[in-house]
Structure 1
Amino acid sequence: MQVSKDGRSWRIGAVADVGWIAGHTAAGTSVTTAIPPIFDAYATTYQADDVTITAYERALVEDLSRYTPDQPWWLAYLDTGAHDVVFPDARRVSLYWDWPYVLVEAGPEQALTWRAGHLRHGRGSLPDLFFPADRTWLVSALWDDTWACVGGPEPLIHILERDPLTTARRVHPDEDALPPGLVRE
């Protein structure tokens, strides 16, 4: 299925495009609730109080882009009925606990510009889940979390940790993913 936006045609994803995620996470409080346990390293990231949402999101996407060769990214928007899924008439794929996502093949620019506010921040634009076509990393923020979990290669996690705007903290697969100072809703 193709959809149009910004004068271009975009491919809507299917179950096969997220099969590597679906059914490969486990309920709980660890990073592997959102990210399959297939990566070399993991982290959590969130917008700190003294950083604007725009600065945080741009820093995160720039860090991911610097690490990733030029290729499409898959952007997934969770359909809660409460926030923008960008393509409301597109088919959904199910992830986690059969949550419906609109999955579209686009890129980092669209990740920063397509959405006009979402549940976690009430503002901002990032998709709820996104990853490059080569699946070298995955960023996922679950429905009611105010932070995102990241899985990827060790060097990428190190880049995120060193960036003061991303507030990234390395976590182990069996460790509670809740960042210090934040609370679960």
Structure 2
Amino acid sequence: MVEQSIWMQKVTADPGHSSWYIERFRSMARAGDDLAGEARLVDAMVPRHARILDAGCGPGRVGSQLAEAGHDVVGVDVDPALIEAAEQDHPGPLWMVGDLAELDLPAQGITTPFDAIVCAGNVMTFLAPSTRGEVLKRFRAHLAPGSRAVIGFAAGRGYEFSAFFEHAAAAALEPDLLLSTWDLRPYTDDSNFLVAVLRAA
């Protein structure tokens, strides 16, 4: 039995948490806020009509933007409420309920490797700590050789960047580019956010 994610612990403690999160991004979209920064970065990295996995897709904010850009998107999230919102608000991509620590899409008939994986929105810090290394190994298993995973999360959320780099190395994911923001500012030792572009070795 996989340890319950920090996200689902929050949902268990506060059954309204998912609805609050969904409405937060719906409100931002109505206000015209820029919600596509992560998708723009990933879109610039891949060929046209790429296969992209949105890992921890939430209500579909990033994956839907990539689908609108013409990519073949599969989104996976552990929270059924977020997947339901993604299906309602962003029809088109394949949205699936699933735990990233048990990710096995070939077993569900999705056998073609992905050209990229995007994992935005601090998803890595919402995983059960004991599963973080395994999640990165699962990412590697779903990538075509030489393809890349783009993972972003903030410091101070219980997952040190140094531990993340160790987990990535153990998963045969090698840093191609390290940034401190989704708008391409360089990563430094004192950065409080990390966007890691990791290549499947």
TM-score of the two chains, using structure 2 as the length reference: 0.32
Greater RCO, 1 or 2 (C-alpha within 8 Å, sep 6+): 1
TM-score of the two chains, using structure 1 as the length reference: 0.34
Q: Which has the higher helix share?
A: 2
